[in-house]
Each structure stands twice: as C-alpha cells, then as structure tokens.
C-alpha cells in the first residue's frame, strides 16, 4: 500500500513539473495585469461616478450603477484575457544559421573513391563495378568532402578519430554563428544536437557546453538514430521547448553527421550506398521567441512517422552483413516508402499552408473520386507553389529529388537548390536543407515575405516539413557558396 501511494505521488509530481514553468509564467502575468487593471478600472469608475453625481438631471441618481458592481466584470475580463495570452503559442524565429565549410584538403574526388575500391583486398569485382555505376549516376562533383580518416585506403574509425571529426565540424560553424548573431552566450537556454551514428559518452552536446562554457541550467537534448530528418525534428523540438522559456530566450540547434563510424567494409550493395553518397557537413541554427535580429519566422512544422509499417521500418536499417561487417542498409523499397511518407505529410501540412481555394479544389476532387469510385482518375496534386516560393528538398540522391519534384509538381527551377547542393556537397544527411537555403540566398533569390518549404526524409521511416517566412534577406555573400556560386546553376541532367 505504501509503495502504491509513493508511486502515485511520484507520478503526480512528474506531471506537475511539466506545468510548473507555464504556471509561473501565467501567474506572473496575471498578478501584474490584475493589479494594474484593478487600479486603472477603479480610477476610471470613480471618474464615471463623479460625473454621474454631478449631472443628476441627465441620469437619475437611483438608477446609477455603483462602480463597485462594474469592478468584478473588469477583473474577470482581464483574468480571461491574461489566461489566453499566457497560454497561446509563441511565435518562433530563426535568428540566423551557419553551415560548415570544409578545407580543400578534405576534397574527395570520385576517382579517389574508385581507386581505393580497386586497391582494397576486401571488395569483389562486382562490388567495384557497382560503386562505379552509382558514382556515375550520383550527380555529385569532385568537390565533395570527407573527414581525414576516410582518405586512407583502408579506413579505420575508432572513438578518437570520430571525436576529431566531430570537433572539426561542430566548433567552426558554432563560432561563425555566434559571430554573426553577436548574442550573449548566457541567452541560450535550450540546446539540441542531432547526430545518428556517433553518440559518445559524454555526448556531443556536453562537448560543446564544455568548449563554450554554456550556462549550467541549460535545457540539453541529444537526438540520435533519426538520420536525415533529424535537423527538422530538432527545430520542432526546440520550438516546443521555447514555449515554456522566458520570452526572448534563445535555442541553439546543431545538426551534423559523423560519417567515419558509418564506413562499411563489406560487399553488400545496399550497405555500400552510404560509403558512396554520404559526405561531411553540418549546420548550426539559432532560434528565439524574440523578433529582434531575426531573419525568418517559423510558420509550421509537420512530422509524420510510418514506423508502424514493417517495410517502412526496415528500409533504412543498421545491421551486420553475413560476415559481421557493420553498416547501414538502404532497402530497394526506399523510394516507395518515401513517396508514401511524403503523401501522408503533405496531406497533414497542406490544410495549414494551402490557400482556401486550392483546398476547396482538392476536397471537391476527392469527393468526386469517392462518389465515382474510379481508380483510373488522375490524382489531383495541390499546387504548393501557391503557398511557397522556394523548396529545400533533402538531397538523398537524384531519385529522391525527382520523386518530390513529381510528387509536388515542381519545376526544374524550384528544385535547382537541391540538385546543385547534391552536385557541390553530396548527401550531407540532416544538414543538407540548410545548404540549399544558403544557395537560394547566395543567388539573391530570397525576398522579404517569401515562404520556404523544407522537406526531409529519415530512418523510421519519417517525413518532416518545415515552413519559414523570410523577414530579412541576407545582406552579405558569405557562407558555403561564397567561393563557387558563380559556377551555378549547371546542367547535371546528363549524369543521372
């Protein structure tokens, strides 16, 4: 009986903790507003009473309303308004972002990868031919980057090598972000990192806290295992956490993938794809509930998970092959699963972002199709171009970009940022959409009021979308595209 009572108390305590911050915020607002409103209402009603008393011939004195009767009504109105304001969802802004730019020393031409494959005693001829074919179809240039450990003929990535890679990527982009925003480090109250393959003890987040001496009461979170969609999940999580922080608080979100531990040494083709496509990259973002210095406003975040389906759950799967070699397998069902996940996501997000007329057209089409019960009717695709001017699609590969382009009926211009990012930087997993946003800004195509849709796919299987509204376009040309934007766009269609 005592154990049950203790468990009940612990459960109640955990639930109360969830509401402690919103309660204190609402209470402070309520007390302040009630005191001010009561004082002002009392003064105003006194003036009204004096006016009524001075003019009995206009309003008979017996019928005059006593000020004390109006006071509870005013207080009730202030209390109700205060509750609504205290618990409404706050607007979240993107203050700025920074992308990792690697040194030319880490350049990894396709010929180097192919040469290493030929030299390796572990790979069969059929595997080497497969690598060569995928490289030719990858639409990637010879300017992509890998960490130093992968430049060896027989890479070995231990704990120390992975930590060196993490420090190489994470610290420079955080330095750049802090230099851009010029904020006080103590203003960062929420800190989220995401990395799927590398989760040491202490974690990457603590490594960053130690480096920059972030505040001791910072709300810390590490996301792992979500692969390419984790960056958007982290932004959505940070947005939710900022709702219960003091107004004007900042959230730092660091997205990267340490690809050294992902290296696969076997001959299973579905697991070799990670070696061929994955490249080094990362992005740091600063979010806030204050509009000051902000460059984008978060419009919506939609997350859909299809892990209940066995095929979707296993389409991106870490495992060992028959020889015990560890790697990440990408299933042949990946494109079909991604298409279903995208359809589910845009069905949810479309009702929030599409114009009313477009939603009406879509609804009428679905009703007609249900009434006629015809499978031969062409599927109506809502025109998302009416809601967004720019699209940042995860650069999983040419097939992924084409899938989304056809699924949303986008033009080649609207997927230009995705294709050029794949060509220049390769598949940088969760950070890729931020390089695409940087591309749009480097081409001076981002205007005030423009809307951007970010689309990400990841293990699970998940499809996430983020909607942004531009408040202040970039006024400088720094960033990952600073030294090469004049080369783009270029034709890569003949390489698919």
Distance CA 278, CA 272 (A): 10
Q: Indicate the pLDDT class of residue 135, thresholds 50, 70 and 90.
A: very high
**108-114 contacts: CB < 8 A, separation 24 or more?**
108/144, 108/145, 108/146, 108/150, 108/151, 108/279, 109/142, 110/135, 110/138, 110/140, 110/142, 111/142, 112/151, 113/275, 113/276
Q: Indicate the pLDDT class of residue 128, thresholds 50, 70 and 90.
A: very high
Please state, as a whole number, how many other Cβ atoms lie within 10 Å of the Cβ of residue 389: 17
218, 190 Cβ separation under 8 angstroms: yes
Helix boundaries (H) for 229-333? 230-242, 269-277, 310-314
180-199 exposure pattern, b = at least 16 Cβ within 10 A, e = fewer: bbebeeeebbbbbbbbbbbb
Answer whether residue 22 shows pLDDT above 60. no
Secondary structure (3-state) at 347: helix
Answer whether residue 98 shows pLDDT above 70. yes
The reported pLDDT for the residue numbered 34 is 54
Distance CA 443, CA 155 (A): 37
* Chain centroid, CA 8 distance in Å: 37
Strand locations in 219-268 (E): 219-223, 250-256
Answer whether residue 6 shows pLDDT above 50. no
Question: 230: closest CA among 57, 434, 413?
Answer: 434
Name the token pair of 400: 């992924």
Question: 232: closest CA among 420, 429, 481, 447?
Answer: 429
The superfamily in CATH containing domain 93-351+382-495 is Thiolase/Chalcone synthase (3.40.47.10)
| Separation in Å, CA 455 to CA 59, 159, 340 | 66, 32, 14
How many percent of the chain have pLDDT more than 90?
58
Tally: H helices and E strands in the chain: 14, 11
Is the torsion defined by CA of 333, 336, 340, 346 positive or negative? positive
Question: Which region among 171-185, 325-339, 356-370, 447-461 has the lowest average model confidence (pLDDT)?
Answer: 356-370
Name the token pair of 389: 């001017």
Query: What are 381-396's pLDDT values in tens digits?
Result: 788 888 999 999 999 8
449, 435 Cβ separation under 8 angstroms: no
Query: What are 250-280's pLDDT values in tens digits?
Result: 999 999 999 999 899 999 999 999 999 999 9
Is the torsion defined by CA of 421, 425, 426, 432 positive or negative? negative
Query: What are 50-67's pLDDT values in tens digits?
Result: 554 554 544 444 445 555
Question: 266: closest CA among 146, 121, 366, 389?
Answer: 121
The reported pLDDT for the residue numbered 256 is 93
Distance CA 48, CA 50 (A): 5
Burial of 325 (0-12, 13-18, 19+ CB in 10 A): middle
DSSP state of 201: S
313, 467 Cβ separation under 8 angstroms: no
87, 22 Cβ separation under 8 angstroms: yes
The reported pLDDT for the residue numbered 16 is 41
Residue ranges, comma separated, of all CATH 3.40.47.10 domains in the chain are 93-351+382-495
Question: 480: closest CA among 437, 427, 429?
Answer: 437
Distance CA 257, CA 279 (A): 9
Query: What are 175-201's pLDDT values in tens digits?
Result: 999 999 999 999 999 999 999 888 888
Query: What are 35-50's pLDDT values in tens digits?
Result: 555 555 556 555 655 5
Query: What are 150-172's pLDDT values in tens digits?
Result: 888 888 888 899 999 999 999 99
The reported pLDDT for the residue numbered 251 is 97
The reported pLDDT for the residue numbered 281 is 93
Q: Indicate the pLDDT class of residue 436, thresholds 50, 70 and 90.
A: very high
The reported pLDDT for the residue numbered 315 is 92
Backbone angles phi, psi at 426, to 5 degrees: 80, -165
* Chain centroid, CA 95 distance in Å: 14
155, 263 Cβ separation under 8 angstroms: yes
- Interval 413-440 mean pLDDT: 95
């Amino acid at each position: 009986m005592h154990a049950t009572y203790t468990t009940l108390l612990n459960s109640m305590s955990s639930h109360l903790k969830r509401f402690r911050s919103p309660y204190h915020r609402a209470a402070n607002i309520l007390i302040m507003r009630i005191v001010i409103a009561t004082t002002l209402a009392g003064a105003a009603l006194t003036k009204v009473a004096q006016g009524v008393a001075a003019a009995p011939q206009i309003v008979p004195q017996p019928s005059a309303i006593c000020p004390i009767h109006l006071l509870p009504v005013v207080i009730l109105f202030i209390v109700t308004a205060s509750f609504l304001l205290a618990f409404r969802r706050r607007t979240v802004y993107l203050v700025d972002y920074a992308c990792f730019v690697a040194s030319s020393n880490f350049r990894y031409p396709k010929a180097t990868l192919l040469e290493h494959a030929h030299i390796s005693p572990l790979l069969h001829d059929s595997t080497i031919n497969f690598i060569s074919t995928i490289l030719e179809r990858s639409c990637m240039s010879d300017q992509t980057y890998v960490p130093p450990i992968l430049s060896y003929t027989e890479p070995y990535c231990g704990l120390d090598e992975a930590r060196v890679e993490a420090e190489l990527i994470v610290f420079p982009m955080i330095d750049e972000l802090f230099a851009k925003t010029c904020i006080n480090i103590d203003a960062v109250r929420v800190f989220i990192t995401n990395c799927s393959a590398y989760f040491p003890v202490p974690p990457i987040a603590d490594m960053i806290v130690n480096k920059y001496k972030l505040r001791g009461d910072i709300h810390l979170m590490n996301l792992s295992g979500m692969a390419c969609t984790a960056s958007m999940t982290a932004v959505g999580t940070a947005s939710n956490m900022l709702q219960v922080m003091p107004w004007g608080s900042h959230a730092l979100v660091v997205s990267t993938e340490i690809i050294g531990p992902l290296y696969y040494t076997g001959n299973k083709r579905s697991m070799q794809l990670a070696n061929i496509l994955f490249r080094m990259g990362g992005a740091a973002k600063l979010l806030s509930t204050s509009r000051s210095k902000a460059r984008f406003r978060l419009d919506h975040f939609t997350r859909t998970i299809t892990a209940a389906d066995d095929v979707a759950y296993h389409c991106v799967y870490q495992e060992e092959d028959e020889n015990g070699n560890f790697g990440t397998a990408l299933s042949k069902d990946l494109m079909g699963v991604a298409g279903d996940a995208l359809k589910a996501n845009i069905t949810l997000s479309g009702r929030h972002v599409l114009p009313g007329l477009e939603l009406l057209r879509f609804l009428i089409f679905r009703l007609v199709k249900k009434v006629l019960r015809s499978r031969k009717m062409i599927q109506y695709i809502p025109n998302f171009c009416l809601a967004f001017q720019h699209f940042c699609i995860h650069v999983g590969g040419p097939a992924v970009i084409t899938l989304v382009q056809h699924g949303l009926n986008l033009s080649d211009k609207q997927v230009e940022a995705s294709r050029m990012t794949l060509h220049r930087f390769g598949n940088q997993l969760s950070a890729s959409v931020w390089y695409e946003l940087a591309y749009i800004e480097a081409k001076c195509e981002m205007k005030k009021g423009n809307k951007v849709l970010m689309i990400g796919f990841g293990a699970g299987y998940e499809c996430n979308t983020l909607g942004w509204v531009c408040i202040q376009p970039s006024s400088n040309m720094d960033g990952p595209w600073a030294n090469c934007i004049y080369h783009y766009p270029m034709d890569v269609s003949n390489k698919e």
